[in-house]
Amino acid sequence: MADTLLLIEDEPLLGTELARHFRREGWEVVLCTDLASARRVLMEDDIEPLVVLSDMNLPDGNALDLLEDVRQHGRSGEWLFLTGYGTVTDSVRALRLGAFDFLEKPCDQKRLDLVVAGAARSARAQRRLRDQALQQHHSYSIDAFIGDSAAAAATRDVLRKLSQVPFSALIIGGETGTGKGLATRILHYNGLRSGGPLVDINCAALPRELLESEVFGHEAGAFTGAKKRHRGLVEQASGGTLFLDEIAELPLDLQAKLLKVIEDQKVRPLGAEQEISVDVQFVAASNYNLEERVRDCTFRADLYHRLSVFGIHLPSLRERIEDLDQLVPMLVAEYNARSGKNVRQIPDAVWAALKAHDWPGNVRELRNVIERCVLFSDGDAFPVQWLQLRSHGVPRAEPAVEADRLILPLDGSMSLEDMDRHIVRSALELSDFNVMAAARKLGTTRQTLRYRVQKYGIKTPETESDD
């Protein structure tokens, strides 16, 4: 189906010639000679033009007034204006309203074709982004936080209220695997910034040297290897939401820099001489108690108070165990679709084991368990033998040490935090609690390792002497 071009031109000869030309170029052209008929096409008829090519001054008014009305109604499409006697005021207003270009008559046909083609590409890109946003909105509706329990209902109520207010920052707390990323997406795609980008970063996933550049950006030549300018995640998230997962892992000096960005809504990339204005909504998440981190002086108090304009604590799965009745069938159906399996029956023994388990990994652990069982199923019955839950009587896989190698279970029985703690403790034990030697084994710095020793409360001769 051809794309639609709305042509608004009151000169009959020019309008007819332009309409004939663009039809030959493959456009479906709708020609209007005044603003009234164009308004009916845009507001009443079921027509959504990809590009609008309009004269600026028409017999019944200025086309910029129509553009302003269209934008207020949320209609998409790029607008191009042609005028024989445009003013600076009109051109400034046109660009402010989001017009693609402003051309003076007479305009060379080849140049006009190039500008229309550019406007069409831009409009198609906008439509793709809009369609993706609508799809994400449906995927991450408020009801995406599933459960009939009182805890789940209370969480949905808080998410619904937060999505209706223009908050600048908030903190999402809760144990690992409770759905902090899901809550962030619900807030973004149901909030006032749903049309903007959602950018996320795990602050624990990158070393400190890369983290600063990744979050705040850098200019070409800012450091060795910086060959071109890099837009940081703060700048990329402008107009939308920046999700800072595991924010407790952010180094203290970067916490100070982040605080300034939140306060001023300006960011200075590494090596830049000037700050860049941004418009970002910040969502921070941590499975640690940030108030305790503030008391331990491992998290800045001023950043905590600035982020905690609003706060939400997600309940653990064991606090809403009755929600398994909805979660399990939903996850079984999801992994059936992904793997081509046909699991339909869930025996009573499976339900008993699932509801007796304490779920230290919460919904993330539940997903792992359901995925494993569906993938290993041989028929339409949910296989109880692949649950591998402690509450079901199946021995839990335990980490093991062999020489300088660690073997860690990936069956959902051990959380990422537990793995991290075990790796640090094992490296220290293998190094006779020599922090420098353990740091070399792990390929990290003494300072980073000491931070994790303190974070997990691991006793070493060094810490015991401090006591």
Strand-pair partners of 267: 276
Cα 124 to chain centroid distance, Å, stands at: 22
Does the pLDDT at position 134 exceed 70? no
Domain identity same for 365 and 432: no
Q: Which range in 331-345, 384-398, 407-421 is most confidently predicted, on average pLDDT?
A: 331-345
CA angle, residues 375, 380, 382, in degrees to nearest 5: 60
Percent of the chain with pLDDT over 70: 92
Domain identity same for 369 and 416: no
Gap between the Cα atoms of 423 and 441, Å rounded? 11
Domain identity same for 215 and 321: no
Gap between the Cα atoms of 356 and 22, Å rounded? 69
For residue 56, what pLDDT is reported?
86
Does the pLDDT at position 404 exceed 70? no
Average pLDDT over residues 358-367: 93
Predicted structure pTM score: 0.63
- Rounded to whole angstroms, what are the CA distances from 310 to 19, 163, 172, 206, 360? 55, 12, 9, 27, 26
Average pLDDT over residues 123-150: 82
Average pLDDT, the chain: 87
Domain identity same for 370 and 420: no
**Domain's final residue, options 136, 170, 201:** 136
Q: For residue 344, how many other CB atoms are within 10 A of its CB?
A: 13
Domain identity same for 442 and 351: no
List the one residue out of 408, 410, 412, 411 whose CA is nearest residue 424. Answer: 408
Domain identity same for 193 and 272: yes
Name which residue leads in pLDDT, 95 or 346.
346
Does the pLDDT at position 410 exceed 90? no
Does the pLDDT at position 117 exceed 80? yes
For residue 393, what pLDDT is reported?
40
- Enumerate helices (H) and strands (E) in the chain, giving the number of each: 19, 16
Domain identity same for 168 and 128: no
Does the pLDDT at position 25 exceed 60? yes
Q: How confident is the model at residue 406 (pLDDT cuts 50, 70, 90)?
A: confident
Does the pLDDT at position 113 exceed 50? yes
Burial class (CB in 10 A: 0-12, 13-18, 19+), 354: buried
Domain identity same for 330 and 299: no
Name which residue leads in pLDDT, 113 or 93.
113
Name which residue leads in pLDDT, 372 or 442.
372
Name which residue leads in pLDDT, 429 or 21.
21
Domain identity same for 373 and 432: no
Does the pLDDT at position 413 exceed 70? no
Domain identity same for 158 and 125: no
Q: How confident is the model at residue 392 (pLDDT cuts 50, 70, 90)?
A: very low
Q: Which amino acid is at 400?
A: A
Domain of 171: which CATH number? 3.40.50.300
How many domains, the chain? 4
Number of alpha carbons in the 13 Å side-chain half-sphere of residue 391? 12
Gap between the Cα atoms of 324 and 322, Å rounded? 5
Question: What is the residue whose two structure tokens read 């660690």?
Answer: 406
Domain of 111: which CATH number? 3.40.50.2300
Domain of 428: which CATH number? 1.10.10
Domain identity same for 120 and 105: yes
Question: What is the residue whose two structure tokens read 């793709």?
Answer: 128
Percent of the chain with pLDDT over 90: 52
Domain identity same for 160 and 249: yes
For residue 412, what pLDDT is reported?
60
Strand-pair partners of 52: 6, 79
Domain of 384: which CATH number? 1.10.8.60
Residues of the domain holding 80: 4-136
* Helices assigned H by DSSP within 246-308: 252-264, 290-295, 301-307
Q: Which tens digits make up the pLDDT trace of 289-308?
A: 899 999 989 999 999 999 99
**Domain's final residue, options 280, 296, 313:** 313
Q: Which amino acid is at 154?
A: A
**Domain's final residue, options 92, 116, 136:** 136
Does the pLDDT at position 246 exceed 80? yes
